[in-house]
């Protein structure tokens, strides 16, 4: 390549680089769509907003399902939930400050946290809050910065949300956490390990409205039954699109009970009917299926064949993993095959 050709190639590269930088700068400087008012901001964790696409597969949050329940000509709903966040984490990472910057007098905010306040995770290693609704603090060493810091109670952080929203002249509604996919003697577990009660106490103490989503949603799941609720949960914590619709309907029921005239008048009159959830068939896991052993005196080979029959959802993966060890033990010791019954717990 001649010197002149090299210079030409170099010049083209510089021009291309400048064009890329210019396009990137334009993308970053592009104004975001203006927030329309009156607005309803949904603030919470992945129970409120998660999933991809239209929610037909995998987990799905109720915030996406509640939007069609409101008339967009009367109120604008913004689902600002963020997966993995706790009542503390949402504030500390600056997400809450972004909401406050948009919030105006006459707007509404629905808060729902609790699913992530009790424990850190690999992706969110610094999010726990102190259990309860008191003013006590706890000094911890941040797993991220390794600096000492004071953290407050779950209820204390909820009360900070209330204080901020009231200062803006807006209305805040605290929701108790939606129930997990945990069942006790055929009934879904209620109370969420105390967080539902602490949410109610924080609302009462701060003068906020309280919506008992935990109870309202639990009533609906109990009506479906443990087996009938299987298609409504994606795992222990998260709902499918069907479960998200159940939770959204429970929120709307609670809003009607609060008798907020402005929100009540903003409800749509032509909400699409909910799709019918599929009926999953029971399945069985069998051990003791050594095909090379006969009923006479042939020694067992130690091979185990697990036969699965019926519909499997992600909800049952943990159950299968835990039961595999039992199946193996039964297979090599001559135990009878076991069958999962409809009322057995998955976990």
CATH of the domain at 111: 3.40.50.1110
Q: Are residues 104 and 168 in the same domain?
A: yes
127 plus 171 within the same structural domain: yes
User: Same domain, yes or no, for 118 and 165?
Assistant: yes
Q: Between these two residues, 183 and 273, which has the higher pLDDT value?
A: 183
Q: Is the model's pLDDT at 150 over the cut of 70?
A: yes
Does residue 134 sit in the same domain as residue 230? yes
Could you give the CA distance from residue 128 to residue 92 in angstroms, rounded to a whole number? 12
Which residue segment(s) compose the domain that 104 sits in? 39-266
Same domain, 231 and 293: no
Considering the domain boundaries, does residue 128 fall inside one?
yes
Same-domain check for residues 126 and 253: yes
Tokens for 223?
A: 């009506």
Rg of the chain on CA atoms, in Å: 26
Q: What is the pTM of this model?
A: 0.76
Residue 107 domain flag:
yes
Buried b (16+ CB within 10 A) or exposed e, 39-61: bbbbbbbbbbbbbeeebeeebbb
Instruction: Mark whether 45 and 124 lie in a shared domain.
Output: yes
81 and 194 share a domain?
yes
> Which pLDDT band, with edges at 50, 70 and 90, does 303 fall under?
very low
Q: Identify whether 8 is part of a domain.
A: no
- Residues 97-140 have pLDDT tens digits of 999 999 999 999 999 999 999 999 999 999 999 999 999 999 99
45 touches 112 (CB < 8 A): yes
Could you read off the pLDDT of 166-218 as tens digits, one per residue?
999 999 999 999 999 999 999 999 999 999 999 999 999 999 999 999 999 99
Structural domain tally of the chain? 2
């Amino acid at each position: 390549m001649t010197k002149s050709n090299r210079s030409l190639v170099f010049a083209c590269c510089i021009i291309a680089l400048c064009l890329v930088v210019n396009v990137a700068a334009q993308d970053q400087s592009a104004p975001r769509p203006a927030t329309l008012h009156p607005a309803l901001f949904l603030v919470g964790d992945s129970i409120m907003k998660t999933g991809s696409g239209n929610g037909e597969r995998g987990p799905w949050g109720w915030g996406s399902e509640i939007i069609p329940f409101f008339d967009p000509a009367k109120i604008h709903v913004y689902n600002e939930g963020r997966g993995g966040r706790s009542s503390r984490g949402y504030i500390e990472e600056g997400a809450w400050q972004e909401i406050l910057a948009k919030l105006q007098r006459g707007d509404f905010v629905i808060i729902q946290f609790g699913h992530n306040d009790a424990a850190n995770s690999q992706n969110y290693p610094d999010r726990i809050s102190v259990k309860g609704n008191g003013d006590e603090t706890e000094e911890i060493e941040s797993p991220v910065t390794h600096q000492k810091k004071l953290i407050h109670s779950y209820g204390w952080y909820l009360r900070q949300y209330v204080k901020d929203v009231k200062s803006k002249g807006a209305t805040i509604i605290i929701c108790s956490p939606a129930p997990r996919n945990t069942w006790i003697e055929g009934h879904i577990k209620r109370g969420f390990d105390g967080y539902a009660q602490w949410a109610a106490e924080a609302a009462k103490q701060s003068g906020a409205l309280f919506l008992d989503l935990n109870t309202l949603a639990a009533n609906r799941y109990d009506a479906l039954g443990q087996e009938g609720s299987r298609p409504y949960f994606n795992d222990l914590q998260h709902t499918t699109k069907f479960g998200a619709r159940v939770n959204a309907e429970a929120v709307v029921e609670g809003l009607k009970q609060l008798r907020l005239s402005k929100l009540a008048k903003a409800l749509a009159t032509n909400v699409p009917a909910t799709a019918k959830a599929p009926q999953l068939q029971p399945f069985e896991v069998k051990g003791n299926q050594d095909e090379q052993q006969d009923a006479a005196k042939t020694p067992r080979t130690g091979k185990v064949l697990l036969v699965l029959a019926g519909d499997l959802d992600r909800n049952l993966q943990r159950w299968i993993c835990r039961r595999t060890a039992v199946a193996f033990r039964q297979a090599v010791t001559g135990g009878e095959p076991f069958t999962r019954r409809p009322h057995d717990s998955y976990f």
